[in-house]
Amino acid sequence: MSAPRHLTMIGTGYVGLVSGTCFAELGFKVTCVDVDETKIANLRDNGIIPIYEPGLEEMVKRNVAAGRLHFTTQLSESVPTSDAVFIAVGTPQDEDGSADLQYVKAAARQIAPHLKDYTVIVNKSTVPVGTGKVVEELVRQTNPQANVDVVSNPEFLREGEAVDDFLKPDRVVVGVETPHAAEMMAMLYKPLTDQGVPLHVTNRASSELIKYAANAFLATKITFINELIELCDKVGADVLSVSRGMGMDGRIAPRFLQPGPGYGGSCFPKDTNALAKTARDYGMRLNLVEETIATNQRIKESMADRIVDAMGGNVQGKTVAVLGLAFKANTDDMRDASSLTILPKLQEMGAKVVAYDPAAMPRAKQLMPNLTYAEGIEQTLQGADAAVILTEWADFRTIDLGKLKQTLTTPVLVDLRNLFTAEQAHEAGLQYFPLGRPAE
């Protein structure tokens, strides 16, 4: 079998654009395809990338200039000459909690007529167990002559660190049903495995489940420490110290053990729901996962109550200055961000919410048109009755608390990311409300 050279990446979102660009960086010729004509025109004609992702823009430009990275809306331009066609389209949550597979299925049908020689179709989208089989059936129905293998290759990158995560992953997981497909995937990832990245080859169903199991486990880990916040408040413990002490145990590890206002983002909420739904479809209940989902919702809602309590129990007619809207720092992604639960709840209770985020405001304005949006940190704080830190952006870590106090009408700081210490806040003359830490 000859080594793969040309790849098509279908879906030019967070995963598709990052993966396509990184494969180009590794030396492959890559064509990124999307149905969104504006997105493709911006990328192809102006080098404008549609998302905020550190390091990506330069890498896109470099690989376009080197002739390795191309953008189009036409599958016919690249599928016939591709050795591998990746599906990296969205799998949003459907009304019943399951993953909505309409985009994956559409991509499968659209690829089929253009297939020529042996091609691997690689599912990079997060999809429930059994979807690889469905994709294969759709391709064969549409093009019975197609010589294909359908492979599962879930993506584990984190937004904000996506380029590094793709090029230096902890592992690459591939789920295959034939030795031919296994060989092809090994060649695709050879530039990474040559540098010591482990390749975990398994069957398709296991690979599909690994992605959901990993995300549900991490969501549970985050929720575990978040649930301890309130207990720490009650018993006088410091949740950061508890987290550090737990994380030093090699069996536990420190990552994903940072307390915060509930998990959000494009993956954990929908993937935990989809995993729970898959189990229900098979007549069983994943109790831990179901409980994680419910507890996370309770935690997000309790954050609004925390803010109200810090403001004296009543926010009617008061102004809350909110720093950060994205579900975490270094991304403009607003999907299932905690801010979407907390801020409308504050508004319902009569508060005026003025908000600022360094990257997520264009998306936030579409989702929460009734907030007041400020241009920067100082404008957000001006005349407000309390400041709330909701996202851990680096810009917020360096805020001068003395100035913050002077800009506010009432000196209340609710720090839902524990960016500051009680000592720093008190020195600045602020009433300080951290998460799960002694406020004195």
Residues in the site for ligand NAD, rule: CB under 6 A?
10-16, 33-36, 39, 88-91, 103, 106-107, 110, 125-126, 155, 157, 159, 266-267
Cα 5 to chain centroid distance, Å, stands at 29
- State the nearest-atom distance from the C-beta of 284 to ligand NAD, in Å: 23
Q: Cβ of residue 73: shortest distance to ligand NAD, in angstroms?
A: 8
CB of 270 vs ligand NAD, minimal distance in Å: 7
With respect to ligand NAD, which residue has the nearer C-beta, 96 or 348? 96
Cα separation, 26 vs 137, whole angstroms: 32
Helix 268-281 vs helix 204-235: crossing angle, to nearest 10: 120
Q: What CA–CA distance (Å, rounded) separates 49 from 34?
A: 13
Q: Are 120 and 149 in contact (CB under 8 A)?
A: yes
Shortest spacing between CB 277 and ligand NAD, in angstroms: 15
Whether 267 is catalytic:
yes
DSSP for residue 76 = G
In angstroms, what is the minimal distance from the CB of 143 to ligand NAD?
16
C-beta closer to ligand NAD: residue 87 or 353:
87
Write down the least CB distance from residue 155 to ligand NAD, Å: 4
Cα–Cα separations (whole angstroms), residue 47 to 59, 64, 71: 11, 9, 10
- Asked whether the beta carbons of 219 and 262 are under 8 A apart, the reply is no
| Cα 345 to the center of its chain, rounded Å | 23
Residue nearest to ligand NAD (CB): 13
Q: How far is the CB of 167 from ligand NAD (least distance, A)?
A: 15
Nearer to ligand NAD, 35 or 246 (CB): 35
Is 356 within 8 Å of 376 (Cβ atoms)?
Answer: yes
Nearest CA to 119 among 77, 149, 89?
A: 149
| DSSP class per residue in 85-105 | EEE----PBPTTSSB--HHHH
Name the minimum Å distance from CB 35 to ligand NAD: 4
Taking CA 243 as the corner, what is the angle to CA 241 and CA 245, rounded to the nearest 5 degrees? 65
Q: Are 367 and 357 in contact (CB under 8 A)?
A: no
Cα separation of 264 and 243, whole Å?
20
Nearest to 311 by CA among 402, 436, 226, 433: 433
Q: Which is nearer to ligand NAD, 25 or 34 (CB)?
A: 34
Beta carbon nearer to ligand NAD, 129 or 304: 129
Residue 351 sits at the vertex; the CA angle it makes with 349 and 353, to the nearest 5 degrees, is: 130
CA 20/CA 89 separation, integer angstroms: 13
What gap in Å lies between CA 413 and CA 434, rounded to an integer? Answer: 8
Catalytic residue among 22, 32, 232, 267: 267
Nearer to ligand NAD by Cβ, of 157 and 303: the residue is: 157
Q: Considering beta carbons, is residue 329 or 374 the nearer one to ligand NAD?
A: 329
Rg (CA), the chain: 24
Q: With 0-12 CB in 10 A as exposed, 13-18 as middle and 19+ as buried, what is 202?
A: middle
Name the residue nearer to ligand NAD (CB basis): 252 or 367: 367
Which residues form the catalytic set? Answer: 267
